[in-house]
Amino acid sequence: MTTQQPSRRSFVKQASCGFGSLAMMAMGASGIQAATPDYRVPPRAKRIIFLFMQGGVSQVDSFDYKPALAEYHQQEFAFDDARTIAKQGKHGTKHKLMKSPWEFRPYGQSGKLVSDLFPETASHVDDLCFLHGMHTEGVAHGPSTLFLHCGASNFIRPSIGSWVYYGLGTENEDLPGFVSISPSIGNGGSRNYGTAFLPARFQGTPIGTAGKDQLRLDNMERPADMSPIASSQRELIHRLNRAQLDRRRNLGDLPAIDESYDLAWRMQRVAPELMDLSQESKATQTAYGLDNPKTRGYGRKCLLARRLCEAGVRFIQVTYGDNSANPSWDQHSNIPKHAHHAAAVDQPIAALLADLRQRGLLEDTIVWWGSEFGRTPYAQNNGTGRDHNPVGFTVWLAGGGFRPGFSFGATDEFGFQAIQGKVHMHDLHATLLHQLGINHERLTYRHAGRDFRLTDVYGRITHDVLT
């Protein structure tokens, strides 16, 4: 039997296609969706709005009242904190305690003590669930911010918004399921709303950048030509892409690219109107502080978050921060500067809570407020600022089945270390997913031969804070 030898041209043609196919298969190796089908549990919420206070709000100057700080003001006590140990290699370093510059007052039926930094937010304390025993990983902004958003600091992992989008999809096919409003380019940057090894279609869509008031989506203006002819042209491109995908399997992120084109086409019809805040009533704009230069920036972001929430976006993160080396709330030498930042966010946050409640959205929307860590109860270098503190800080949650008017956990008498009702960041992630109807141990994705999840091999649901 004779075998016909291929020509050189034929061999090169077939071999090159084969090499291309191998490359495409390699690109697509991480795109095999492997979430188990039984990760759903009964949900209490449909979506999350995450109000990220970048830089580290001081818990002892906001929501964790510690009278001992005033009693022992300027007196030295020994503290074992990881940051000092890392810098100096010493344990038990003495620092001078520093009382809060702000008074604390009781609010609501719960009588919760809140500092004068947040009087507007404090008027909603009976809707808030405070977690005072928070602790996390990392002593610097970069690692802790990544851990907050991705559940890991030393590896590239998907962000929590991407996990939520992956697990639940979107409620509105004309909008992405995950939006990041004014994300920072520092301390992890796009990784804080990225997909890592999850399919690219689950990445967060950024709107604006930190430190700037302008909110826009590039190339998202309503096109002049939305005629049937233009629609048929887009449909032709889509059919050509699908034909190519049907011919060649495992084409990496090419399916996600095609889907992104379709989503962008659909968004052009709805996004311009959705992002037009002028459609809101004058009373609503005033409530969010849009007529005040101090509150306008964050007020516009919170109002847009409510509109996205109402339109069916699953996860919306709203950053208050900037793109400098020292994030906004990072007051190492001037803790009174907290007042400037609190004045910018307090009224908009209160307006968002009131607006969600009035529209019946708070019941199935989780509002999550917090930073990557807290701050120390002592003065850094005996000055007027506070250092980073990952071992004891406060976050609060509202709506979505969290216990309203409730405080859980505690730090020590100085507000330094969580000692009671401790909630690790992994635990908070697990609890948030649980409220969305996701079993955090079962929502997995196979990558590099291993099943990954947001909480890694950790995380316990904090049932005490749930209704």
* Coil/strand/helix, residue 89: coil
Question: Which single residue is written with the structure tokens 């979506």?
Answer: 47
Listed residue (146, 175, 151) closest to 314, CA to CA: 175
CA dist 91 and 134 (Å) reads 22
Residue 407 buriedness (CB in 10 A; 0-12 / 13-18 / 19+): buried
* pLDDT for the residue 112: 98
The pLDDT, as a whole number, for residue 232 is: 66
Q: Do 386 and 98 form a contact (C-beta atoms < 8 A)?
A: yes
- Whether 173 and 200 have beta carbons less than 8 Å apart is answered as no
- Give the pLDDT of residue 22: 38
pLDDT at position 267 is 78
8 Å CB contact between 302 and 287: no
Query: Among candidates 459, 454, 458, 461, which has minimal Cα distance to 163?
Result: 454
Per run of 10 residues, the mean pLDDT along the chain (length 467 residues) is: 51 45 37 58 97 97 98 96 77 93 98 98 98 96 97 94 96 94 92 95 92 69 56 67 67 64 74 92 98 96 98 97 80 97 98 98 98 97 95 98 98 98 98 98 95 97 98
Among positive and negative, which fits the CA dihedral 59, 63, 69, 74? positive
Concatenating the DSSP letter of every residue in 25-53 gives HHHHGGG-----TT-B---S-SEEEEEEE
Tokens of 299: 């007020």
The model's pTM: 0.87
Write the pLDDT tens digit of every residue in 104-117: 999 999 999 999 99
Q: 301 near 348, Cβ under 8 Å? A: yes
Cβ-Cβ contacts under 8 Å for 34 (sequence gap 6 or more): 444, 445, 446, 451
CB 178 within 8 A of CB 187: no
